[in-house]
């Protein structure tokens, strides 16, 4: 109970006299099963994430597929200069930031709210059914999701325009209108992923000790008070971790979905860095230029994760590492 500082007893440090190499061999002999289990992931990481990093250097080179990566001449930051002089890139960057910020602000709370709502449902059958329905879109291919969205918003047969016509509104060509692209895109990704993302929060909620609620009930708390004063604070560490991850992936705007939904008519609001890279790199063959854009994207993402993590560490004791 007292905070008095007792002097630490002098501890003779344990000295291992055997050489390091010998100890490593012993360790491997003892724990090889664990390393075996780890191996597939490590190999995957090396092969698909680390090895391609070698190719990153073409962002600083005048790359040609005929000369190869190593033989192409260095040109320094020339591609980056072109990049920032490119109207299209700047537009893509602006769109990326805008779309990802909006997705984060609107999309991030949705799974949390869903989880909280599921937690309040008492009827188990209804709860299970509702959960299955909201998880479902996650398991449907993006192509089909996009197909559903395109059909729903189609000016001739789409459900949205049909409803509008009942209200005497003329059909709107939603997917060709730049001002409609972002709401539709953000709505679609929320519909697709929010249910599935809520699983993490549902798991976190089910980890909260039931006696906390019982104690609150005896203290006189209403369900609403328990939600805000117990459930939400209890899952706050999970929320923060998920937020850090989300911020880290922020610039990874759901690339397939954009490709599937955008058209040249909506590039103005829809084109993001990833789709820009795709068009420049794969469609126009400017690999070095596209690599520069990709690298830039990655650096920004890295800075974002680091910042989010250290802010969280400082203010909430929770962090990813």
Partner 1 sequence: MSGVKLESIVKAYGAVQVVHGIDLEVKEKEFVVLVGPSGCGKSTTLRMVAGLEEISDGTLTIDGKVVNRIAPKDRDVAMVFQNYALYPHLDVAENIAFGLRIRKESKENIEKAIKDVAGILGLENYLERRPADLSGGQRQRVAMGRAIVRRPKVFLFDEPLSNLDAKLRTQMRAEIKRLHQRLGVTSIYVTHDQVEAMTLADRIVVMNDGRIEQVGSPMELFLNPVNAFVAGFLGAPPMNQIQAVISGGDAAPIAEFAGQQFTLPPLPGLQNAVGRKVIVGIRPEYATPQTKAVEGSVSCTLELVETLGSEALLHTTIGGEPFVIRTETLGNMDQLNAVNGFTADPALVKVFDAETGVALSGQLRVA
Q: Contact residues for partner 1 (CB under 8 A)?
A: 1, 3, 209, 211-212, 214-221, 225, 229-230, 233-234, 236
Per-residue b or e along 104-119, where b marks 16 or more CB atoms closer than 10 Å to that residue's CB: beebbebbbebbbebb
Q: Which is nearer to partner 1, 77 or 228 (CB)?
A: 228
Q: Which is nearer to partner 1, 38 or 203 (CB)?
A: 203
Distances (CA, A) of 269 to 89, 94, 95, 281: 12, 9, 6, 21
Question: CA 171 to CA 164: how far, in whole Å?
Answer: 7
Output the smallest distance, CB 17 to partner 1, in A: 39
Q: Which is nearer to partner 1, 44 or 228 (CB)?
A: 228
Q: Which is nearer to partner 1, 68 or 233 (CB)?
A: 233
Output the smallest distance, CB 3 to partner 1, in A: 8
Q: Which is nearer to partner 1, 102 or 221 (CB)?
A: 221
Distances (CA, A) of 300 to 56, 117, 122, 218, 277: 15, 35, 44, 50, 15
Question: CA 229 to CA 220: how far, in whole Å?
Answer: 13
Q: Which is nearer to partner 1, 194 or 235 (CB)?
A: 235
Taking each helix axis from N to C terminus, what angle separates 178-206 and 109-120, rounded to the nearest 10 degrees?
50
Output the smallest distance, CB 112 to partner 1, in A: 16
The secondary structure of residue 76, as a DSSP letter, is T
In sequence order, the β-bridge partners of residue 61 are 74
Output the smallest distance, CB 205 to partner 1, in A: 14
Distances (CA, A) of 31 to 9, 19, 38, 42, 44: 34, 18, 11, 16, 21
Output the smallest distance, CB 219 to partner 1, in A: 4
Q: Which is nearer to partner 1, 130 or 221 (CB)?
A: 221
Output the smallest distance, CB 209 to partner 1, in A: 7
| Long-range contact pairs involving 74-80 (C-beta distance under 8 Å, separation at least 24) | 79/288, 79/289, 79/291, 79/292, 80/292, 80/296
Output the smallest distance, CB 224 to partner 1, in A: 11
Q: Which is nearer to partner 1, 120 or 214 (CB)?
A: 214
Beta-carbon neighbour count of residue 311 at 10 Å? 14
Output the smallest distance, CB 217 to partner 1, in A: 5
Strands (E), 148-235: none
């Amino acid at each position: 109970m007292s905070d008095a500082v007792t002097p630490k007893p002098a501890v003779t440090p344990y000295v291992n006299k055997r050489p390091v190499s010998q100890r490593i061999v012993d360790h491997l002999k003892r724990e090889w099963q664990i390393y075996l289990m780890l191996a597939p992931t490590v190999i995957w990481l090396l092969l698909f994430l680390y090895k391609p990093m070698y190719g990153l250097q073409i962002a600083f080179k005048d790359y040609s597929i005929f000369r190869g990566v190593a033989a192409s001449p260095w040109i320094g930051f020339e591609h980056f200069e072109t990049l920032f002089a490119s109207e299209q890139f700047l537009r893509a960057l602006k769109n990326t930031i805008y779309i990802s910020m909006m997705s984060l602000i609107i999309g991030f709370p949705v799974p949390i709210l869903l989880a909280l709502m599921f937690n309040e449902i008492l009827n188990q059958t209804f709860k299970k059914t509702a959960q299955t329905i909201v998880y479902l879109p996650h398991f449907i291919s993006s192509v089909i999701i996009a197909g559903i969205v395109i059909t729903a918003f189609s000016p001739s047969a789409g459900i949205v325009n049909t409803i509008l016509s009942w209200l005497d509104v003329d059909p709107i060509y939603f997917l060709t209108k730049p001002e409609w692209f972002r709401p539709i895109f953000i709505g679609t990704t929320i519909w697709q992923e929010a249910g599935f993302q809520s699983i993490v929060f549902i798991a976190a909620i089910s980890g909260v000790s039931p006696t906390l609620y019982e104690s609150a009930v005896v203290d006189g708390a209403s369900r609403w008070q328990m939600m805000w004063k117990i459930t939400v604070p209890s899952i706050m560490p999970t929320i923060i971790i998920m937020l850090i991850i989300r911020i880290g992936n922020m610039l990874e705007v759901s690339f397939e979905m954009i490709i599937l939904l955008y058209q040249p008519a909506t590039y103005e609001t829809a084109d993001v860095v990833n789709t820009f890279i795709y068009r420049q790199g794969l469609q126009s063959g400017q690999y070095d230029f596209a690599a520069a854009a990709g690298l830039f994207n990655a650096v920004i993402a890295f800075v974002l994760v680091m910042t989010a993590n250290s802010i969280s560490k400082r203010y909430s004791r929770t962090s990813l590492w």
